[in-house]
Amino acid sequence: MLTLRDKGLLFYIIEHCKRIEEKIKDKTKEYFYSDKDTIEIVCFNILQIGELVKNFSDDFIIIYNKMPWKEIKGMRDWVAHGYGTIDLDKVWDTALNGIIPLKNYCKYILSIEKSGA
């Protein structure tokens, strides 16, 4: 059973995932590299996702272990402390290939908790 806190965190993570999806939808890698606003928005939302993940209960992390939570937290730290050395290839790859699976897994967790499975 999800705690109320964990459930809320999932909802917030889904919203940040959606924001990243919206910003890169129909965009090329070249566009991403050339648009500082898009880079900042994607990085900010990745940072927020990582911060939210840091607040999951220990039980949540143990039970819902199909996502690399530790790496997501690490990505947050890397973006937050990159100090101008952020690898845009890594950010783009995360936005393109990591965000949708994360969003879908969070939705899945909420759906199975809702159904009582």
5 is catalytic: no
Side-chain-facing half-sphere of 113: CA atoms under 13 Å: 17
Q: Considering the candidates 5, 16, 19, 76, report the single residue annotated as catalytic.
A: 76
Q: Considering the candidates 5, 16, 19, 81, report the single residue annotated as catalytic.
A: 81
76 is catalytic: yes
E strand or H helix that includes residue 50? helix 36-53
Q: How many residues does the chain have?
A: 117
Burial of 69 (0-12, 13-18, 19+ CB in 10 A): middle
What does the DSSP assignment read for 70-95? HHHHHHHHHHHT-TT---HHHHHHII
Read off the tokens for 117.
């499975």
Residues classed as catalytic: 76, 81
